[in-house]
Amino acid sequence: MAEYVRIYEENPNPRDIDKVVKVLRSGGLIIYPTDTVYGLGCDITNIKALERVAKIKGVKLEKSNFSFICNDLSNLSDYVKQIDNATFKLLKRALPGAYTFILPGAKSLPNPFKKKKTVGIRVPDNSIAQEIVYQLGNPIISTSIRDEDEVIEYTTDPELIYEKWKDKVDVVIDAGYGGNEASTVIDVSQGEVEVVREGKGSLDIL
């Protein structure tokens, strides 16, 4: 059964962050807060954990479209091919923020993603998510936890999330109520800017 961990965004407790990071390093799955909706994630370097997430989502790992959650843009070249100045300036304007950028994937992507031509990059404006990734030392993959009830597209109450997910994941982080609006998805993989989905992130940055 999953551990329920309360973490405050204003001042995340280092011991709690460390506990979550240890779970990720050992191949565990976590549900964690972002600046949009709560996400399901794991260490992108752990194949077994990635396969667990793919199974939960009912997709083949090689064909999955999981986002990479980063704490900043400093290691972007590990996962993304070289991008032009205009694209980098757009990323700097938008991130951290409620955006997912689809970028051309690098050859150095982790094994399950080697054949992917593009990768979705997120830097959430959320200190808990950023601190977890920073302490882990590499991104976590992320996929939103959707509610079966289409009226409530995303679950926002951590206690209800725990009830639903406690037997599927290893840690559920309670950081208070989450949002119910997903990130804005912008495709810049072809050099042009294409808005794939308008979500929480404002288009004023474009």
Query: Going residue by residue through the chain (206 aa), what tens digit of pLDDT does each one get?
Result: 999 999 999 999 999 999 999 999 999 999 999 999 999 999 999 999 999 999 999 999 988 999 999 999 999 999 999 999 999 999 999 999 999 999 999 988 988 998 899 999 999 999 999 999 999 999 999 998 876 666 666 789 999 999 999 999 999 999 999 998 999 999 999 989 999 999 999 999 99
Domain boundaries, the chain: 3-205
Q: Which CATH superfamily is 3-205 part of?
A: DHBP synthase (3.90.870.10)
Which three-class secondary structure string do you get for the chain?
A: CCEEEECCCCCCCHHHHHHHHHHHHCCCCEEECCCCCCEEEEECCCHHHHHHHHHHHCCCHHHCCCEEECCCCCCHHHCECCCCHHHHHHHHHHCCCCEEEEEEECCCCCHHHCCCCEEEEECCCCHHHHHHHHHHCCCEEEEECECCCCCCCECCCHHHHHHHHCCCCCEEEECCCCCCCCCEEEECCCCCCEEEECCCCCHHHC
